[in-house]
Amino acid sequence: MEKAILINLAISKKEAAEAENSIAELAGLATSAGATVVAKIIQSRNTISPKYYIGEGKVAELEALIKQTGANLVIIDSNLTPAQQRNLEETLKVKVLDRTQVILDIFAKRARTNEGKLQVELAQLSYLLPRLKTQGRVLSRLGGGIGTRGPGEKKLEEDRRRITDRIGRIKKEIDSLQKRRAQQREVRKKSPVPAVSLVGYTSAGKSTLFNNLAREHRYTSPHLFSTLDSTIRRVTFSNGFYFFLSDTVGFIKKLPLELISAFRATLEEIREADCLLHVIDVTSDDALEQAEAVDKILNELRVSDLPVVKVYNKIDLLPEPERNKFLHINKGSGQLPLYISALTGDGLDQLKDRLRRILFKNFRTLRLRIPKSRAELASSLPRQAIIIKKIETLEGWEYQVATEKTSLYTYLPYLQKGEGL
């Protein structure tokens, strides 16, 4: 187990105000990566030291603290230049990582699918490459653990050319995986079934809500970034209507650039959705800032024109009077905020109700009776309408369907009595 000391350097009033939350989040990241946090330090200073990032006085202080706590890892709550990282490691004689490296490490640990693993390796190598030029950092000297997982220590020591080759090959592989994914998406796009994507800050409760809505077991955990690869399940209403729900990777403030581009593919799911379900953790001290960070990333992904349903989750942990602090958010939209507990199921009926009204606004249900002689119509029906019920009879098939399309004209002769388009 690695014992880590965390350091946040604030060089402005604004940064000083955010320092507590930022270092608390870094502690969450470090724990998720497998380290134990033994100390947290916040330093206020006017400038960043080009040599050590933090001030020299702090470096001396750190040395003493390392001895005292037995720490073998120092994590800086920002990005370091290769020189700063090397200087700190040489002086402190322990491994030094920055925020991006810790996040990359968690992603390396969590990636499950082939594409996810490749994306993480690509991000790690891209982050490493410019650092190799100046660095010659001998990781083996400082042991394995956080920041060395993924491509592996040996690979990290390979020369630049081989890493560049590897990057090229990974890109090609990802490319072909993405083509396949795009084809699958095309198929899904032709389907009349609406799609909803869960989005939100990491640990907000997306997977828990996913499980509860889709009644399907998914991996949830108190650690950050427990979901990396998006998954899709069906959510059905009592009237038989249904939609597809996808669970996605969590967002975080200061998400490294390398990762935003690496996970763009995973986030493509979001772009294909008809509606986004934004999960906000009300128990987090900076819930509103987290929600803003998510909005910002959604903007960057250019999905801001999609309808978004915001849900305030973990309400079971919040006493009634405190809920008021979120009341002003939806002001003007005429919608009351939705308070839910993904864990206990509280508020999920109201949530489903709101989703139903958004997704199926223009849908209506119809009954069809298609004779055996028109089997081709029966087989193409799922591309035109949501099949709610299907019964096979001697003469053919009886359907109850939901549709918003007028393209059902070919089916007009087969409408059951009393139905009209």
Ligand X SMILES: Nc1nc2c(ncn2[C@@H]2O[C@H](COP(=O)(O)OP(=O)(O)OP(=O)(O)O)[C@@H](O)[C@H]2O)c(=O)[nH]1
Q: Which stretches of the chain bind ligand X, using CB under 6 A? A: 200, 202-208, 220-222, 224-227, 250, 313-314, 316-317, 341-343
Q: Which residue is nearest to ligand X (CB)?
A: 250
Q: How far is the CB of 93 from ligand X (least distance, A)?
A: 33
Q: Which does 99 bind (CB under 5 to 8 A by kind): ligand X, Mg ion, none?
A: none
Distance, in Å, from the CA atom of 197 to the CA atom of 279, rounded to the nearest integer, reads: 11
Give the one entry of Mg ion, ligand X, none that residue 396 binds, where binding means its C-beta sits below a cut-off of 5 to 8 angstroms depending on kind: none
Query: Cβ 198 to ligand X, closest distance in Å?
Result: 8
Q: Which does 420 bind (CB under 5 to 8 A by kind): ligand X, Mg ion, none?
A: none
Query: Minimal distance in Å, beta carbon 207 to Mg ion?
Result: 3
Annotate each residue in 160-199 with x if it binds Mg ion (CB under 5 A) or - if it does not, as one string. ----------------------------------------
- 35 φ, ψ to 5°? -100, 160
Minimum distance from residue 107 beta carbon to Mg ion (Å) = 13
CB atoms within 10 A of CB 106: 24
Which of the stretches 106-114, 221-229, 238-246, 280-288 binds Mg ion when contact is defined by CB under 5 A? 221-229
Check residue 207 for interaction with Mg ion (CB under 5 A).
Answer: yes
Q: Tell which phi-psi region holds residue 399, choosing left (phi > 0), alpha (psi between -120 and 50) or beta.
A: beta
Q: Give Rg (Cα) of the chain.
A: 26
Beta carbon nearer to ligand X, 148 or 207: 207
Query: Which residues, 6 or more positions from 105, have their beta carbon under 8 angstroms from its beta carbon?
Result: 33, 97, 146, 147, 148, 149, 150
What one-letter code names the amino acid at 84?
Q
The residue among 136 and 345 lying less far from ligand X, judged by its C-beta, is 345
Secondary-structure breakdown of the chain: helix, strand, coil percentages, each rounded to the nearest 5: 45, 20, 30
Q: Is 227 in the site for Mg ion (CB under 5 A)?
A: yes
Nearest approach, Cβ of residue 247 and ligand X (Å): 7
Place of tokens 């108190």: 222
**Of 342, 349, 293, 337, nearest to 314 (Cα)?**
342
Q: Does residue 32 touch Mg ion according to CB under 5 A?
A: no
Instruction: Indicate the residue among 163 and 340 with the shorter CB distance to ligand X.
Output: 340
**Cα distance between residue 162 and residue 157, in whole Å:** 10
Closest CA to 50 of 13, 92, 15, 85: 85
316 binds, among ligand X, Mg ion, none (CB under 5 to 8 A by kind): ligand X
Between residues 203 and 246, which has the closer beta carbon with respect to ligand X? 203
Report, in Å, the least distance between residue 259 CB and ligand X.
13
221 touches, from Mg ion, ligand X, none (C-beta below 5 to 8 Å by class): ligand X
Query: What is the C-alpha separation between 69 and 253, in angstroms, rounded?
Result: 29
8-state DSSP, 410: G
Query: DSSP letters of 301-331?
Result: TT-TTS-EEEEEE-GGGS-GGGGGGGTTTTT
Query: Could you give the CA distance from residue 94 to residue 72 in angstroms, rounded to a whole number?
Result: 5
Q: Which stretch binds Mg ion (CB under 5 A): 96-104, 122-130, 200-208, 331-339?
A: 200-208
Q: Given the complex with ligand X, which of 127 and 312 has the nearer CB atom?
A: 312
CB of 298 to ligand X, least distance (A): 15
303 Cβ neighbours under 8 A, 6+ residues apart:
270, 271, 273, 276
Rounded to the nearest whole angstrom, what is the least distance from the CB of residue 262 to Mg ion in the complex?
Answer: 17
Q: Which does 341 bind (CB under 5 to 8 A by kind): Mg ion, ligand X, none?
A: ligand X
Is 346:391 a contact under the CB 8 Å cutoff? Answer: no
Least distance (Å) from Mg ion to the CB of residue 339?
20
Q: What number of chain residues touch Mg ion (CB under 5 A)?
A: 4
Residues that bind Mg ion (CB under 5 A): 206-207, 226-227
